[in-house]
């Protein structure tokens, strides 16, 4: 099994947190996820803090703007892009201040090329997904932008081993030809697996750091993610239906970010670390892998982002995930 860039029995978040206070969000993450903290995302702040707008801000020589409530390619940089850059700068400033002296793995997140292509509009209308040439240009631009972003984070937190997460919730729909056109009466052409893996690989190889792909939709395309050269995959355990592809991915050495904790309170109960750990252990046992590999290859996470959860629950959940990580590391 290849060396994975995190310690045994760690936990992390997927990315988003509730609220608009980046200083508080960063304190929560660094306090509750000491083994693998991440740069929080706060979509409640509005355009430019949402997944698509935030990622579009990384694009090189492809300016964007908000038009009719959607992000689209623009002819020149404008106020929407300035706001996006300002929000990111504030986030990075807080990370620089609060992670001063930190040494260890640190995760950052951005939308992957296929989710961006399925949600970003061309100037003439329609998603970028409709034009293979536009998708290629978008992927190259994103790859360069994320390479620069990784380098900037390394400069600000020199003791960190940066891990890049690509969020690809739209990837299964892209592969199945289920991304609807604007009219809703038809769908864009489906993309085959090798093409999808090729575009992902462009970003993975350019990043210059380990990359994991997060997909919180059903039918996570594990073969595509493996073929792209990702170091890990993150998914919601409750959506897992077929164990065979997961077993093959684990056998190939892919890191598993197991979304094992509910993102909302269930029946008013606080999250329990024992239940989270037991859920992950049970899955591992069903797959038949040696117990010793579990804490090395698996990172425990919430099922998905936490932007819609109460802040008190978020603190308790992240703390429970960290404790669950310790539990699975116990011999």
Specify the CATH number for 22-329; select among 3.20.20.210, 1.10.10.10, 3.40.50.300, 3.10.580.10: 3.20.20.210
> Does pTM surpass 0.85?
yes
Q: How far apart are CA 305 and CA 7, in angstroms?
A: 22
Rounded to whole angstroms, how far apart are CA atoms 39 and 33?
Answer: 11
In the prediction, which pLDDT does 267 show? 72
d(CA 149, CA 242): 35
Q: What is the DSSP string of 22-46?
A: HHHHHHHHHHH-TTS-B--B-GGG-
Residues of the chain with pLDDT under 70: 1-2, 331
| CB atoms near residue 20 (< 10 Å) | 12
Domain ranges across the chain: 22-329
Tokens found for residue 213:
């792909």
pLDDT for 204-236, tens place per residue? Answer: 999 999 999 999 988 999 999 999 999 999 999
What pLDDT does residue 2 have? 60
C-beta of residue 241 within 8 angstroms of C-beta of residue 218: yes
């Amino acid at each position: 099994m290849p060396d994975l860039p995190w310690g045994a029995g760690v936990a992390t978040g997927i990315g988003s947190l509730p609220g608009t206070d980046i200083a508080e969000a960063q304190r929560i993450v660094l306090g509750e996820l000491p083994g693998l903290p991440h740069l929080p995302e706060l979509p409640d702040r509005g355009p430019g803090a949402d997944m698509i707008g935030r990622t579009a801000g990384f694009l090189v020589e492809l300016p964007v703007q908000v038009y009719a409530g959607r992000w689209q390619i623009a002819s020149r940089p404008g106020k929407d892009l300035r706001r996006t850059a300002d929000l990111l700068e504030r986030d990075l400033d807080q990370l620089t201040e609060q992670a001063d002296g930190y040494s260890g793995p640190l995760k950052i997140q951005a939308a992957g090329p296929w989710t961006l292509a399925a949600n970003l509009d061309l100037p003439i209308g329609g998603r970028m997904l409709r034009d293979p040439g536009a998708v290629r240009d978008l992927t190259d631009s994103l790859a360069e932008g994320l390479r620069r972003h990784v380098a900037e984070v390394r400069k600000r937190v020199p003791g960190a081993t940066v891990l890049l997460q690509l969020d690809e919730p739209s990837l299964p729909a892209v592969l199945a030809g289920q991304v609807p056109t604007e009219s809703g009466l038809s769908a864009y052409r489906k993309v085959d697996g090798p093409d999808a893996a090729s575009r992902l690989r462009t970003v993975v190889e350019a990043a210059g750091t380990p990359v994991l792909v997060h997909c919180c939709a059903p039918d996570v395309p594990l073969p595509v993610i493996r073929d792209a050269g990702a170091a890990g995959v993150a998914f919601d355990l409750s959506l897992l239906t077929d164990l065979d592809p997961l077993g093959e991915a684990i056998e190939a050495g892919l890191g598993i970010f197991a979304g094992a904790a509910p993102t909302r309170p269930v029946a008013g109960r606080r999250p329990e670390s024992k239940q989270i750990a037991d859920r992950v252990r049970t899955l591992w046992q069903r797959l038949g892998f040696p117990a010793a590999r579990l804490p090395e290859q698996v990172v425990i996470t919430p099922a998905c982002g936490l932007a819609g959860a109460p802040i008190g629950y978020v603190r308790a959940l992240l703390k429970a995930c960290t404790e669950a990580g310790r539990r699975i590391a116990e011999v």
